[in-house]
Structure 1
Amino acid sequence: MSRYRNAALFLVLAAVWGSSFVAISAGLDHFPPVLFAALRYDIAGVVMLAYAMYAVDHWRPVGRAEWATVVVGAVLLIAAYHVFLFVGQQNTTAAAAAVLVSLSPVLTTGFARALVPSDALSAIGVVGVLVGLLGVAVVVQPDPSNLLATDAVAKFLVFCAAAAFALGSVLTRRIDAPLPIETMEAWSMLGGALLMHLVSLALAEPIEPATWTDPEAIGALAYLALAASAFGFLLYFDLLERLGAVEINMVSYVAPVFTALVGWLYLGEVVGATTVAGFTLIAVGFVLVKRRALRQEVVAAGRRRSGQ
């Protein structure tokens, strides 16, 4: 029963996070991008902080290492990731954005190996990273004669979002502060929201007063803040304990399926063959990079089944 429950919750998380890219596209029709992202984490940060105060005793960072973890999370995992993503997604489809973001687990491994020279990637691991990057090239389809084309720049910005998230994930693990993940996420969300508000002010982003009474705009903001961020991260924490880091990373490869489906139903976006091909290459890259961990997970799952 527990196995079916975990599978169901995994699909719920994939659906929520996959459909969030569609909510971003819908909200960007009403909000300026950086302010939209900042407002999302104003709400989500407050909700997560309330949850951290309820769930853990250690709900405030103390000491240099813990605050360093929060700063890295605020700058890279929240602010940089969402600024690049929201600005880039103004000019590309939700499905393409979801596929490019699915490269994050591959880039995370690449950054981890680069920052720890003694733990170098094997030859097959290097091939996996290169296959993943080839998948990005297939999705972006850069034109050498026009590298600054709007669509290519937009997809490159989404790639930068995936890279920022991957680097942030590696750096927070390297600091290795004894900070509960709920606490780190809450304070990173609030710090990232503040940084994005500063960027929004610097860009003098305009917003129409009618936006605050538009049902689609408020619905997109509420969905991203409460469902995708607050509920999504709480579900992620629960599944991380039950499934482990390798299995939960697979959500990145299921979420784009929901993005494509919801994007087609709600926005009328059609997923092209190149996006599917790029996604396939990125998934193959992930399997090559994580092949040992995936093999261990398969063996462990077989043992659990035989023991039941």
Structure 2
Amino acid sequence: MSKQTIQLSLSYCIMIGLWASAFPGIRAGLAHYPPEHLALLRLLTGSLALLLIAVITRIRLPEMKDVPMILLLGCLGFSAYHILLNIGEQTVSAGIASLLVATTPLFSAALSGLFFRERFGAAKWAGSCISFFGVGLISLGTGNNVQSAAGILLILLAAFSESVYFVLQTRYIQKYGFIPFVIYTILGGTIPMLAFLPGLGEELSNAPLHSTASVLYLGLLPTVVPYFALAYITSRVGPAEATVSLYVTPALTLIIAWVWINEVPAFLSLLGGMVTIAGVLFTYRKSGNAITTAPNLCRSRRRRKQNA
């Protein structure tokens, strides 16, 4: 086995393992922190770590003309995503939340059609219908009560918000690089969260150590490290191959949630989750696209212009 194969395998394990652990980590943190303080503390922790990395590696500042869009993408990909996901996980289990977030590529495909004029063909429509049928099964499996339905909707909104971030990030990743862009947007996403700073100190003093440790873990590891692993993998095998492996994340989340917080989803919800994943995979069975294929869309659009 070559050195590069070992490095790739290790990077895959780190990326998938840490992102899978984030969903039960949120549930553990929500036991003693409200959703907004959990998101703030998580992003503050991650931002401080990334700020240190940025200073050490002397990452250049973005151009002023790009700052408004970077701030907007930070709000969508981190502020809105984390708050909506945290609120949703108050009534939706960690495993089911990870399955719902797996709808992100469907939203990304639709948005790519809107922004990059990519055709949303029959396969994508069929895959979308299959996936949202799965979401309906998930809703039935959670008891179909108002709270669970609201939680499911909020997590789907979180997935939509993240998909906008993925689709619109293309030109900025090409301009600044993947890692600097992630640092910019996480820092940008932390700024509006400072509105929730009042009361955080009291929460920190009252929360038990294990709950605070869960939130700090979320900030230092799942919020930061997987992006570096993803950047390395993408540089070696391309975005489609790098991100398709993320469909393993929900399965691993179910195992981690069972071990960490003793959480086992209802069979009907689990079945719905599998149907949801099947719909996503059906959508991409031919194209091999994934949630970070917007650079490819942008390149194909340039080629069409050149051929015109």
User: Does TM-score exceed 0.5, indicating one fold?
Assistant: yes
Q: Which residue of 1 aligns with 2:139?
A: 140
**In structure 2, what is the Cα distance between the partners aligned to 1:133 and 1:240?**
29
| Matched AA of 2:257 | G
**In structure 2, what is the Cα distance between the partners aligned to 1:187 and 1:238?**
18
Q: Which residue of 2 aligns with 1:248?
A: 242
Instruction: Give the 5 Å matches for 1:1-308.
Output: 1=2, 2-55=4-57, 58-64=59-65, 66-117=66-117, 119-141=118-140, 149-173=146-170, 178-199=175-196, 207-208=202-203, 210-211=205-206, 214-294=208-288
**In structure 1, what is the Cα distance between the partners aligned to 2:144 and 2:255?**
30
Q: Give the superposition deviation at 1:232.
A: 2.1
Q: Give the superposition deviation at 1:12.
A: 2.5
5+ residue gaps, structure 2, are 290-308
Deviations 1:175-198 (A, max 9, x none): 676122222222221221221231
Q: Which residue of 2 aligns with 1:299?
A: none
Does the 8 Å contact 2:90/2:151 carry over to 1? yes
- Go from structure 1 to structure 2 and tell me whether the alpha carbon gap of 1:110 and 1:207 turns closer, same or farther (over 3 Å shift): farther
Deviations 1:216-271 (A, max 9, x none): 12210221011111222222221221232112222431111221111111211112
**In structure 2, what is the Cα distance between the partners aligned to 1:209 and 1:225?**
15
Q: Give the superposition deviation at 1:91.
A: 1.4
What percent of counterpart residues are identical? Answer: 21
Q: Give the superposition deviation at 1:207.
A: 4.6
**In structure 2, what is the Cα distance between the partners aligned to 1:209 and 1:60?**
32
Deviations 1:35-87 (A, max 9, x none): 111111112112223323444x65311131x3244123211001110110011
Q: Which residue of 1 aligns with 2:300?
A: none
Q: Which residue of 2 aligns with 1:302?
A: none
Does the 8 Å contact 1:46/1:186 carry over to 2? no
Does the 8 Å contact 2:140/2:269 carry over to 1? no
Comparing 185-194 with 46-55, which one deviates more in the overlay? 46-55
Structure 2 residue matching 1:17: 3-state secondary structure? helix
**In structure 1, what is the Cα distance between the partners aligned to 2:138 and 2:126?**
18
Runs of 4+ that moved beyond 3 A: 52-55, 174-177, 204-212
Deviations 1:132-191 (A, max 9, x none): 222222212399xx9871111111111110010001211222667612222222222122
5+ residue gaps, structure 1, are 296-308
| Matched AA of 1:60 | L
What is the CA RMSD across the aligned residues, in angstroms?
2.6
Count of aligned positions: 287
| Matched AA of 2:7 | R
| Matched AA of 1:245 | P
Does the 8 Å contact 1:73/1:184 carry over to 2? no
Does the 8 Å contact 2:96/2:270 carry over to 1? no
**In structure 2, what is the Cα distance between the partners aligned to 1:176 and 1:186?**
11
| Matched AA of 1:211 | N
**In structure 1, what is the Cα distance between the partners aligned to 2:238 and 2:230?**
10
Deviations 1:263-295 (A, max 9, x none): 111211112222322222222222232223339
Deviations 1:1-60 (A, max 9, x none): 2334323321221111101111110011111111111111112112223323444x6531
